[in-house]
Chain A
Amino acid sequence: MVRVSFFGSIRSITHENETEVPAPATMRDLLSLLSSAYGVNFAPGDEFDGWTVSDTETGGVSVMIVLLNGRHIQHAGGADAPLSEGDHVAIFPLVGGG
């Protein structure tokens, strides 16, 4: 299984903080699976800016930060990163502060 944690405003989409799914082959596959499950579009991108979650009803698009086992997805293989049993994926909205 792959554990997927949701944070910030992503939780208002998923209405849960965490889920577990049978390990898909890649990160791209996982996002497709999540899109189907939650009725939104989790879209990977080649560039950092391309990783978004969009509401199919309202058309609202938000940039998201995706971590695979604590590594930003851009440094962890991108959309084609293979997923394995026991992996942890964390999905955040773009946030900032200091």
Chain B
Amino acid sequence: MDSGRKTLKKGVRPDNGVEVFRFNIDGPGESNRATGGKVENRNRLQRERKGEKDMNKRDVLRVDLTHGKVEREPLNSKWEKEFIGGRGYATKLLYQEMKAGVDPMSPDNKLVFATGPLTGSSAPTGGRYMAVTKSPLTGFIACSNSGGYWGAELARAGYMHVVLEGKADKPVYLWINDDKVEIRDASKLWGKDTHVTTDALLKEVGDNKARVACIGPAGEKGSPIAAIINDKHRAAGRSGVGAVMGSKNLKAVVVRGSGVFEASNPGALKETLKTSLQKIKENGVTGEGLPALGTPVLVNVINQLGSYPHKNFQESYMEEAEKHSGETLAEKYLTGTSNCFACPIGCGRVTKLDDVQGEGPEYETLWALGASCGVADLEPIIRANYLCNELGLDTISAGSTVAASMELFEKGYVSPEELAGGPELKFGSGDALVYWIEKMGKVEGFGKKLSQGSYRLGESYGHPEVSMSVKKQEMPAYDPRGIQGIGLTYAVSNRGGCHVRGYLISPEVLGLPEKLDPWVTEDKAQWGKIFHDLTAAIDSSGMCLFTSFALGADDYAALIKQGAGIDVDAEELLKAGERIWNLERLFNLREGLDPAKDDTLPKRLLNDPIPGGPAKGKVSMLHEMLPEYYELRGWDEKGIPKPAKLAELGLQ
């Protein structure tokens, strides 16, 4: 049944040629329990309150995989105002509905595919979705953000969020075709990689315009560093969200939607879109650097600063980095660029190796699979990157885990016999990288240990210190000893080691919005707090963080208000970001977060000076930033939000 199918209206076509569709302002969907895994929203058209510009435009789809039931619920408009959507709204939902101490891999964990109010709109880069759940890697909140086209398709189908509960008794996939929702058998796809799965599902649903988000073998077998891959090449990569999907026997979510977006205030939005696109176009990073060079061009920049972690952070400058730089990638393997939905930037890199075409590697991946493992040449890095996408692994954690295993091997903690004939785990070995990434993704042999991530791997040998992680999640591609502020972000990030909870590289390296000295700690706590709050709000909006090189809080607030009808100004948006950050903190504290133990960096970064290169002698001075950060946050000296702060944010 297809009663709610909406007519596709002609959209606008921004500069990049990506067609942007608009959504109807629908009334709130009724909670509609159906049997047999189907929602048939027969009266939906009658229930649409046309012209009513309230916030209940899209619904929440709740899927009980244990009992095969699907419900449709209205959005909570109060939560939208307070938490915007995406990351914020989903965290609120999990905090409200889940008890503390839930095993992340049990049916009691919930996984939310969350879009923002601007996902699927004509807002520049408005195509993001997030996978939010309790992480099997960290034990804390997970929120992995992805681009591509899947999120916008979900929005077009009429949903803001999909809440997945329970566990199916056999492998299944979810087929969301506008108002028609089915839980279908996926037994034949279990064990298949993400590309085979995507192709097979598109064929099965008979609509090659549908979009697929799925897991590979890594997620099926419970690797806590497993990713969800959508549109074949885009990843909700971090914190093991793919493993949670696998624990529910859910192979994929396939989406097709036909809705159109109508702005709350079309006239005002048109002007705001014009100025926002202009700012993005005129900005050096979003208008020139990223479109022309993508993220890989950072390899040489960060290496020349001497803050490019090498050999599992044992060094921080790689003599041969040029070999896998963005410049070399462009010269030898680049075949084109790619844009996500409604993106005027187009940072995606399309590459080809032998006869295989893929996307990436991006900067973080080049580092994790390259410098971190001591591998200079691009070919094995590209090959390993493709494998990560196909097998469903987070490239940052996967590369860092191989790097940790190489350190374990070279120090004699892992014996050659354990490798059962596989290549020796020596820094610099491209053969070992490719071989062991495949074993990791397939969770086979020694790959089983690797698939657990660097912390559990190191711990199993009595050497967790080789894990370059925070809260058990591997850190990205910037050495906090040479770039102090990013170390603060790593340490306090609610999802563990992460750079995109507050990208202080922007002021510390790029000089945007102003240049800060990366070697000093002064003012970094203040900058960190602002970046963390704004990032939480941007993530929740459904726009890409890269726009923040060019746009400010007032731009985002205007887009959210005029586009989605959520009445926020810049100050309220930042307050929403602060509220989201604090709620994530409360979630983690409820799950047993110990700030003294968890808000820190690996001892190597606190105690061992960088041994050579431009930042020689530097260590992280986190202790100079953390107390100030807590104070600015309105938290006590132990890192616990004070009652007054919680009351101010409505979180008491």
- Mark A residues whose CB is within 8 Å of B: 5, 7-9, 11, 17, 48-49, 62-63, 65, 67, 69-72, 74-75, 90, 92-98
B322 — which chain A residues lie within 8 A by C-beta?
17
Q: Mark B472-502, 1 if CB is under 8 A from A, else 0.
A: 0000100000000000000000000001100
Q: Is the CB of A95 within 8 A of B289?
A: yes
Return the contact of B285 from the options A5, A67, A95 (Cβ within 8 A): A95
Q: Mark B602-644, 1 if CB is under 8 A from A, else 0.
A: 0000000000011100000000000000000000000000000
**8 A-B residue pairs with CB within 8 Å:** A8-B289, A70-B613, A70-B614, A75-B517, A94-B284, A95-B289, A97-B294, A98-B363
Chain A, Cβ-Cβ closest to B292: A9
A69 — which chain B residues lie within 8 A by C-beta?
614
* In the complex, chain B residues 313-349 whose Cβ is within 8 Å of any chain A Cβ: 322, 325-327, 347
User: A94 → chain B, closest Cβ, in Å?
Assistant: 4
User: B515 → chain A, closest Cβ, in Å?
Assistant: 4
Top 5 nearest A-B pairs (CB, nearest first) are A70-B614, A97-B295, A96-B285, A94-B284, A95-B289
Cα–Cα distance between A89 and B363 once the two chains are bound (Å): 23
Return the contact of A65 from the options B362, B363, B503, B510 (Cβ within 8 A): B510
Q: Is the CB of A70 within 8 A of B305?
A: yes
User: A3 → chain B, closest Cβ, in Å?
Assistant: 12
The answer to whether residues A96 and B506 also contact, given A7-B327, A48-B514, A67-B304 and a CB cut-off of 8 A, is yes
User: A79 → chain B, closest Cβ, in Å?
Assistant: 14
How many chain B residues sit at the interface, stated as a range, is 35 or more
Q: Is B306 an interface residue (CB 8 A)?
A: yes
Q: Is B301 an interface residue (CB 8 A)?
A: yes
Cα–Cα distance between A67 and B302 once the two chains are bound (Å): 11
B545 — which chain A residues lie within 8 A by C-beta?
98
Q: Is the CB of B306 within 8 A of A70?
A: yes
- Mark B residues whose CB is within 8 Å of A: 284-286, 288-290, 292-298, 300-301, 304-306, 322, 325-327, 347, 362-364, 476, 499-500, 503, 505-506, 509-512, 514-515, 517-519, 545-546, 549, 613-615
Interface majority SS (helix, strand, loop, mixed), chain A: mixed
User: B302 → chain A, closest Cβ, in Å?
Assistant: 10
Q: Is the CB of A8 within 8 A of B327?
A: yes
Q: Is the CB of B290 within 8 A of A95?
A: yes
Q: Is the CB of A97 within 8 A of B515?
A: no
Q: Is the CB of B517 within 8 A of A97?
A: no
Q: Is the CB of B614 within 8 A of A96?
A: no
Cα–Cα distance between A50 and B503 once the two chains are bound (Å): 23
Cα–Cα distance between A98 and B529 once the two chains are bound (Å): 19
A75 — which chain B residues lie within 8 A by C-beta?
515, 517, 519
User: A85 → chain B, closest Cβ, in Å?
Assistant: 18
The answer to whether residues A8 and B549 also contact, given A63-B284, A74-B515, A94-B288 and a CB cut-off of 8 A, is no
Q: Is the CB of B297 within 8 A of A7?
A: yes
Q: Is the CB of B297 within 8 A of A8?
A: yes
Cα–Cα distance between A67 and B613 once the two chains are bound (Å): 13
The answer to whether residues A48 and B297 also contact, given A70-B306, A70-B613, A98-B500 and a CB cut-off of 8 A, is no
